[in-house]
Amino acid sequence: MANVAPFVDGKLDLGTSWQEAQKESKSSSSLDKDAFLQLLVAQMKYQDPLEPTSNTEYISQLATFSELEEMQNLNANNELQRASALVGKEVIVKSVSDTGKITYESGQVDYVVFENGKAILGVKGGEYPLDDVDTVADADYLEAYNMATALIYAVSKLPSLLNLSTANKEAVQSIQQIYESMNDYQKSFISEDDQKLIEDYIKKMDELIEIEKNNQPNDGGSDGE
C-alpha cells in the first residue's frame, strides 16, 4: 500500500520530511542534486491522495533534475580545467582566517586535486581552493613583487631617521644592496614615497658613518716637530 499523508484536524499533514525538504530548497539559491532528490521523494511519498501529482509533472521534475545534474557536472569540469591550466604557473593566493585576518602566499602551483566538487591547488606545501587565487603572474612579476615586499618590510623594522645610528649600519647596508640591485621594473613595485624613504636612510647612514670616522682618535702619533 502506498504511503500517504494523514489528515490531522481536517488538514493534510505533509510530515517533517516534506517540510524539511521545502525549507532546504528555500534556504538555498541553488538546489543541488541530493536536495532535489530528497524534495522529489518527499513529494511522492506525502502527496495528497485526493490530488495526486500527475505523471507529466514527475517527468518534468525529473527532466529538471537531469538538467541540474548536467550543469553541475559541467561546472565541475570547467573548474578542474581552469585549475589544471595553472599547474606550473606562478600565483598569489589570498586567504582569510577565522578572525578575518587576510594573508597572501605566492609561489608555483605544483599540483591540483579535486575534492567534493572543488579544485584544490598545491602551492609551496600548502593547499588552497581555486577561489583563493588572487593573481596569476609570470616569474618576473612575482620576483619583483617579492623583492619589493621584503624590502618595505625590512625598512619598517628600522628606527626613525632621527633615531638612526651606526648600530643599524648592517641592516641599512643590506637594504641598500638589494635596492641598488633592482632594475627599474622591480623598483616600480615600490611607491615613490617608499623609494625616497629608502634613499633617505642610505644617505643618513652614509653621513653617520662619516661622522663616526671623523670622530675617531688619531693614533698616528706625533710627527716630531
**Residue whose grid cell is 559541467:** 74
Q: What is the mean predicted confidence (pLDDT) over 22-36?
A: 53
Nearest-angstrom CA–CA distance, 180 and 196: 13
Q: What is the mean predicted confidence (pLDDT) over 37-42?
A: 70
DSSP string over 73-128:
HHHHHHHHHHHHTTTT-EEEEEEE-TT--EEEEEEEEEEEEEETTEEEEEETTEEE
Q: Per residue in 63-111, pLDDT tens?
A: 666 666 667 666 666 777 777 888 888 888 888 778 888 888 888 888 8
Q: Per residue in 105-154, pLDDT tens?
A: 888 888 888 877 788 888 888 888 888 888 887 778 888 988 999 999 99
| Model confidence, pTM | 0.48
Reduced to 3 states (helix: H, G, I; strand: E, B; else coil), residue 8 is: strand
Tell me the backbone φ, ψ of residue 118, rounded to 5 degrees: -125, 140
Nearest-angstrom CA–CA distance, 115 and 113: 6
- When comparing pLDDT for 29 and 203, which is higher? 203
